[in-house]
Structure 1
Amino acid sequence: MFSPPWWAKSPHIQTILPSLMKVLRPLLKRERLELPDQDFIDLDWLSKPIDNQPIILMFHGVEGSADSHYIKRLLSKCKSINQCALVHHYRGCSGEINRLPRAYHSGDTQDVQISLEHIKAHFPHNPIYAVGYSLGGNILTKYLGEHKDNSLIERAVVIAAPLQLAACAKKLEKGFSKIYQSYFIKRLQKKIIDKMKIMALDKHIPITQHQIKNLTTLHRFDHQVTAPLHGFDGVDDYYRQASGLPFLAHIAKPTLVIHAKDDPFMTEDVIPSSSQLSPHVSYELHNQGGHLGFIEGGSPWNPKYYLERRILEYLLPFSSATQRDRTSASPIRCSTPIPQ
């Protein structure tokens, strides 16, 4: 079971420190997928699979990429054990503005299915395992619940997913969490303003660049930008349709969900009751860990992490590489009780 060192008990240290650490990213090979609507998404491959080796597919968080600290750490671990892996970038997240007014959102599973079908067409005998972080975890949860037995993903790990989007948006408007909201808002504002400079968006979002700069909360940004760009009837409709929590009960493939109770992005509304969990879902709720942190040891200058070890232990339980770590790992159980 995860337990933080004394110097990393604060949720904000857990959340911020990993993003400040230098992590070398392994060399990746980019593959561009042309989409049916004339847009594109990019896949970054660590390596292609051999024989019947599983493929680990990673979904990043809001405004993330293959350069996100949590992605780079898992890629590095996969490289060390010669494990095939790749990163699915959402539209506009691979370093190049996408071609259409729309971008991506928390419930966007259509592009996920396109990536999966592409991978399966080229590697039909290799099982696909998936890891979703934060927004990517919500998307992955929704995909698994939507497709049930027909999911092209055989095993999955969902980490720090904002499964109840409305509650998480409100949490980010309070206290120290405002700092995180400000960080994301500035990046989202810049991206949409950059897009407005090269294409007409007025038919999709009747709002000026100046007005976009005044959208200082995720709730307001989602209401005036995300929802209309992606066909939702306002922010409430978007949050209702895109939240992953209702889809947990329908998942039919083995899935591990990891949450930290002190995650500064979330509230207890993201914690599912036992009745909301499919029999195929294992739920790990920790008292501490922050948002995508889970520092379990080392020092402030060289932290050691729980997530990569736990992810690979779950996805590759019979791998000799993960067996070496199993002596220090605990079976799945919750630090705090799951509501009934």
Structure 2
Amino acid sequence: MTVGMAIQGVSPLSDIGDLAAAWTLDILIPRLCLAILFLSVSLVKLTLRYPIRVYVGANPVVRSIVQRCPSFQKDYRPPSWACGAWAQAVIYMYRSWRNNHLRGFAREVIRLPDGECVSSYWMAPPGPMRDAVMQCKVDGREEETDAIIEALVYHMPCDERLPPIVIICHGVFQNGADLYDFCRFMTETCGYVVCVFNRRGNDMPLSRARFNTVGDQADFRFILSRLREFFPNNGFYGVGISAGSSLLARYLGDAGEECELEGGVLISGGYDMELSLRHMTPLADLVVTTQAKSFFLERNEETLARQDGPGLQRLKRSRSMQEFHEHLHVFDGKASREEYFQTHNPALVLDRIARPVVYINAYDDMCFPGHFTFQYKHLVERCQLATIVHMERGGHGTFYENWDAGSSRAFQCVREFVDCLHKE
């Protein structure tokens, strides 16, 4: 009996062969499926081509610049696995989370005339300038007024090789750390000096109960005039992203011929700040409104409550960005909602812009959809220095063509436009 049981417990050779075959199939079949999936995705990617429509004003210099910018001409090819706006947003959020630090930046704290403090993040191209800027961090002089700028001035080339300075006006909830990829691309690929202007309440808590979602024109002018004192011979170029495009566009229009900038690029802007709030997709509106309450109100609740407790509660009860802006004027020093938009809405002054400017928008933008923004293509008929770039895909401020940040078509457009304009 014992012998019989032992014989039954021995596996025959055929069972071993079946086991080996099954083990082989368990490995081969998943790999074969992955290979087929990869090939399918690759084939789909080859077919995902979206033509870009470009509208150019009548100015011959602007037309010449656009013709020398390949990124304005070739089809946009998003990743097949991230061709939608929300999928593009996931890429951005991952990269922002991964890069949410100040590596490569030097942070400068600036006291405004009313006593409030804001900050600028600086990143210089590799070489003596970057070494000098980063040394300010090592020496503990990073936030010392003028220390970073003085280091840049000292190591700035003294000939025609002066690098352009790109001033970035970020989105409503961003700060310099969120734009690490963009800044690294502009400094290392293009050789620019980059300054990210962080508005009231974006990088530092409010010490005074005054803020808005796009930024203050007086603050921006103060920053620009201060930079011009230190860099009288460098070309200044502005890049506005989302809400930052409203700040930049309003400045360009108000300043006219007195503008300190040589040109600007406005990425995923809403053109008309007031009307664009009505056209946000429901999900985007919910996400942005919730974030606005957390980002501005909860972080600064004590300061805002001392100024206007009932006004703070009205903002907290807002269910949309349109409703949020119905009550925001009380914390911007304005008497009414109408005065607030009269002060900040760039649509009122776009016709008066006297510098070359590029507008980049995507039809699938969930914050400012193309069915609203694309109607502004006729702006080029009223502003000869305007160029409008419309893409079917690209999302809100992303425009990725691959996983890496340098693949963003918006980044490439900025690089080529600033390069060509700087050489004019």
| TM-score of the two chains, using structure 1 as the length reference | 0.82
Would the aligned equivalents of 2:208 and 2:303 in 1 still touch at CA under 8 Å?
Answer: no
Deviation at 1:18, TM superposition (A): 1.3
Equivalent of residue 278 in structure 1, options 383, 387, 410: 383
Report matched runs for 1:109-258 at 5 Å: 109-172=217-280, 174-175=282-283, 177-196=285-304, 200-202=306-308, 206-207=310-311, 212-224=315-327, 226-258=328-360
Query: Which residue is 1:327 aligned to?
Result: none
**Residues 100 and 170 from structure 1, CA distance in 2 versus in 1: closer, same or farther, beyond 3 angstroms?**
same
Deviations 1:183-227 (A, max 9, x none): 333323323425347xx212xx63355x54322322222222x21
Would the aligned equivalents of 2:91 and 2:403 in 1 still touch at CA under 8 Å?
Answer: no
Instruction: Give the structure with the larger strand fraction.
Output: 1
Would the aligned equivalents of 1:164 and 1:269 in 2 still touch at CA under 8 Å?
Answer: no
- What SS does structure 2 have at the residue aligned with 1:297? coil
Equivalent of residue 58 in structure 1, options 168, 180, 191: 168
Query: Which residue is 1:309 aligned to?
Result: 412
Would the aligned equivalents of 1:172 and 1:181 in 2 still touch at CA under 8 Å?
Answer: no
Report the residue type matching 2:237 in the other structure.
Y
**Residues 212 and 193 from structure 1, CA distance in 2 versus in 1: closer, same or farther, beyond 3 angstroms?**
farther
**Residues 303 and 55 from structure 1, CA distance in 2 versus in 1: closer, same or farther, beyond 3 angstroms?**
closer
Deviation at 1:100, TM superposition (A): 1.4
Query: Which residue is 2:211 aligned to?
Result: 103
Structure ID, larger Rg: 2
Residues paired across the two proteins, number: 309
Deviation at 1:121, TM superposition (A): 0.2
Q: Does 1:80 align with 2:157?
A: no
Question: Equivalents in 1 of 2:257, 2:421: separation in Å?
Answer: 23
Question: Equivalents in 1 of 2:165, 2:268: separation in Å?
Answer: 22
Query: Which residue is 2:133 aligned to?
Result: none
Would the aligned equivalents of 2:360 and 2:410 in 1 still touch at CA under 8 Å?
Answer: no
Query: Which residue is 1:28 aligned to?
Result: 105
Question: Equivalents in 1 of 2:112, 2:312: separation in Å?
Answer: 29
Unmatched 5+ stretches in structure 2: 1-73, 125-151
Unmatched 5+ stretches in structure 1: 321-340
- What SS does structure 1 have at the residue aligned with 2:310? coil
Report the residue type matching 1:90 in the other structure.
R
- What SS does structure 2 have at the residue aligned with 1:153? coil
Deviations 1:99-121 (A, max 9, x none): 21102342621111111001000
**Residues 125 and 317 from structure 1, CA distance in 2 versus in 1: closer, same or farther, beyond 3 angstroms?**
same
Question: Equivalents in 1 of 2:171, 2:90: separation in Å?
Answer: 15
Would the aligned equivalents of 1:41 and 1:89 in 2 still touch at CA under 8 Å?
Answer: yes
Would the aligned equivalents of 1:169 and 1:218 in 2 still touch at CA under 8 Å?
Answer: yes
Question: Equivalents in 1 of 2:408, 2:163: separation in Å?
Answer: 25
Deviation at 1:5, TM superposition (A): 2.5
Deviation at 1:232, TM superposition (A): 3.0
Would the aligned equivalents of 1:132 and 1:138 in 2 still touch at CA under 8 Å?
Answer: yes
Instruction: Give the structure with the larger helix fraction.
Output: 2
**Residues 194 and 162 from structure 1, CA distance in 2 versus in 1: closer, same or farther, beyond 3 angstroms?**
farther
Would the aligned equivalents of 2:206 and 2:300 in 1 still touch at CA under 8 Å?
Answer: no
- What SS does structure 2 have at the residue aligned with 1:42? strand
Deviations 1:126-182 (A, max 9, x none): 111111111101110110011011100112111011222233322336256433433
Question: Equivalents in 2 of 1:35, 1:176: separation in Å?
Answer: 33
- What SS does structure 1 have at the residue aligned with 2:299? helix
Query: Which residue is 1:289 aligned to?
Result: 394
Deviations 1:262-319 (A, max 9, x none): 11001433331424651111111111111111011348xx893222222111111389
Question: Equivalents in 2 of 1:109, 1:25: separation in Å?
Answer: 26
